Every structure is written in C-alpha cells, then in structure tokens.
Amino acid sequence: MRQRVRSAWLFLAPMLLVLAAAAGWPLSRTVYFSFTDASLSDLDARQWVGFANYVSVLRMPSGRVIHDGLLLDPVWWSAVWNTVRFAVVSVTCETILGMVVALVLNAEFPGRGIVRAAILIPWAIPTIVSAKMWQWMLNDQFGIINVVLINLGLIDHKIAWTASADTAMAAVLIVDIWKTTPFMALLILAALQMLPREIIEVAKLDGANPWQIFWRVTLPLIRPAVMVAVIFRALDALRIFDLIYVLTPNNAHTKSMSVFARENLFEFDKFAYGSAASTLLFLILALLTILTIRIGRISLEGGR
C-alpha cells in the first residue's frame, strides 16, 4: 500500500510541477511586483514600495497633499464598473436565451439534430474571429446591420456601433451573447435531459399547463445545474479580455479590468501598477468564488 501511495505522488509530480510553474509561481510574482516599482524595460531594477501602487499620499514641499494609487484611480473604477456591468447583463441574457434554446432543443421535432449542430457554430468560432466578423457587420459605413436597419426605417443615420460611446458596450454584449448562449443552452439541455419524464407526465395528468410545469416543476429541478453554469459563466465574464480588446480597441466605455491591467503592464510602461491591477482582479474573483461556494453550500443545507 505504501508503495502505491509513493507511486501516486510520482505520477502526480509532473502535473503538479507544471501547474506550480505555470500558475502558482507567476501569480505570487505578480503579487510581489505590485508592491514594487518595477518597470517593463528593467524588471530587475526594482524597489519595494509597499502599498504605494494601491494608495499613496504625497506631501509636496509647498504643503499640497496629493493622493494617488490604483484605489483612487477613476480609470480603474470605470474599468471595474464596465466589467461588472458587462458580466451582469451578459450572463443574465445568456441564461434566459440559453434556457429558451434548451427548451426548444428538448422538444422532439424533425430537424432537431440540425438545429443543435447550428447552434454549436457560434461556440466553435474563435473569439477573435467572431469579434472581427461582427466588427465587419457592425461597420459604420459598409456594415450589413446599418444597411438593414436603415432599409427597415428603424434608424435614420448610420451608427458607429463599435466606436461611439453609447453603443460600444451594447456591441460587445451582442457579440458575447451570440457566442456564449450556445454554451449555456447545451449545459441547460443536459440538465433537462436528465430529468425523469414521469414527473412531468404526472404534472400533466394533474392538469398543470406548460407554463406551470416549467415554473413549478422543471425550473426548481434544474436550478442547481443552472446555478453552476451561471457561476462558471460569471467568473469567465469578469475576466473578459479578447473580445473587448479586438472589437472596441482603446474605448474607455468598454475597457475591462483585464484590458486595463494589460495596458498598464505592456503598453504604458507601468508594470508595477498593472501588476497591482492584476492582483486586485485576482482578489475580486477569488473572493467571489469563495462567496458563491459558501452561499451555495448554505442554501443546499437549507433545502434539505
């Protein structure tokens, strides 16, 4: 037996080493950098500066006091707000639409296989490619969406969807919802197909209409699976980078926390400041994960 335990660690070692080197160690270095004044051009010439990247108070000889740091940076807070807003709206829409698609696919009708194959296509397309495809369709001069909307008389002038302040976030949301609803739909569909048919048959015999069956029987039964999918999606949405970076470059109205962090790390030569932003993003996500696990456990126990 002891020999088996030893061989277990032997088999685990390579995987653990790779994970530690690719995830654990870099994460700890990012946190460390956030307490220094490291710059991209010379990472080694750095000094410990404590929490100065997060918040600092500078007293000028003239007597003026300057407050500085990430926690007081309006650009950072706007990135936080953008990300949270994006996550809440996108996950809500994806869950509702995913539910609709899943219910459709759960019904038996000729051509169901084709529909299921069709909804896999948005999911299969790389994010960067879907960003470019939609950027082209949303193009202000030649985009098909403006052309169609003008022909239908819904708008009277061409809209610069991805550039203008009012619509940039909407554009990001449209593309993300288009791309990710299939994922939600498939997860919900899997939960639906695990439901025993008898329960719904019984509800039908009791004279419940489809609406009642959905709200009183189906939804409560698939709720745990849906919640897991929602949590996964929410964590994913909070770290969004690719889509925003490519679809709406350099737009203050869509800049997410991840975009803010990378920008400071590699484009603005504020490596330490970017590290601080990365660290905060990690903390926020870690906290949310722990919180959802806690709440999930409590509600599960309450349900028993």
Partner 1 sequence: MWLLKRAAFYLLVGAIVLIAVFPFYYAIVTSLKSGTELFQADLWPKAPGLGNYRNVLAEGAFARNLLNSLVVSGAVVALSLFLGVTAAYALARIRFRGRSALLFAILSVSMFPPVAVLAGLFELVRMFGLYNSLFALIFSYMIFTLPFTVWVLTAFVRDLPVEVEEAAILDGATPWIIITRIFLPLMWPALATTGLLAFIGAWNEFLFALTFTSNDARRTVPVAIALLSGNSQFEIPWGNIMAASVIVTVPLVMLVLIFQRKIVSGLTAGGVKG
In whole angstroms, how close is the CB of 295 to partner 1 at the nearest point?
Answer: 16
Instruction: Please give the DSSP secondary-structure letter assigned to residue 72.
Output: G
Closest approach of partner 1 to the CB of residue 63, in Å: 36
Task: Using CB atoms within 10 Å of the CB of residue 215, give its burial: 0 to 12 exposed, 13 to 18 middle, 19+ buried.
Answer: exposed
Least gap, CB of 145 to partner 1 (angstroms) = 9
Which parts of 107-218 fold into alpha helices (H)? 112-124, 127-137, 144-151, 168-193, 197-205, 210-212
Min dist CB 215 to partner 1, Å, is 19
CB nearer partner 1, residue 169 or residue 229: 229
Decide whether 58 or 136 has the Cβ nearer to partner 1: 136
Is there a contact between 239 and 285 (Cβ–Cβ < 8 Å)?
yes
Question: Which is nearer to partner 1, 85 or 262 (by Cβ)?
Answer: 262
CB of 30 to partner 1, least distance (A): 4
Cα–Cα distance for residue pair 56/69, rounded to 1 Å: 6
The Cα–Cα gap between 276 and 85 comes to: 22
List of residues 6+ apart from 43 with CB closer than 8 A: 33, 271
Closest approach of partner 1 to the CB of residue 62, in Å: 35
Q: Nearest-CA neighbor of 79 among 211, 238, 233?
A: 238
25 phi and psi angles, rounded to 5 deg: -60, -50
Q: How far apart are CA 199 and CA 222, in angstroms?
A: 13
Specify the residue, 169 or 257, whose C-beta has the smaller distance to partner 1: 257
Q: Interhelix angle for 74-106 vs 112-124, to 10°?
A: 160
DSSP structural state of residue 1: -
Helix or strand or coil: residue 163? coil
Strand partners, 134: none
- Considering the complex, what minimum distance in angstroms separates the CB of residue 110 from partner 1? 10
**Given the complex with partner 1, which of 56 and 292 has the nearer CB atom?**
292
57 or 286: whose CB is closer to partner 1? Answer: 286
Nearer of residues 100 and 202 to partner 1, judged by Cβ: 100
Min. distance of Cβ 138 from partner 1 in angstroms?
10
Cβ-proximal residues to 160 (8 Å cutoff; 6+ apart), any chain: 140, 167
Measured from the CB atom, is 58 or 129 closer to partner 1? 129
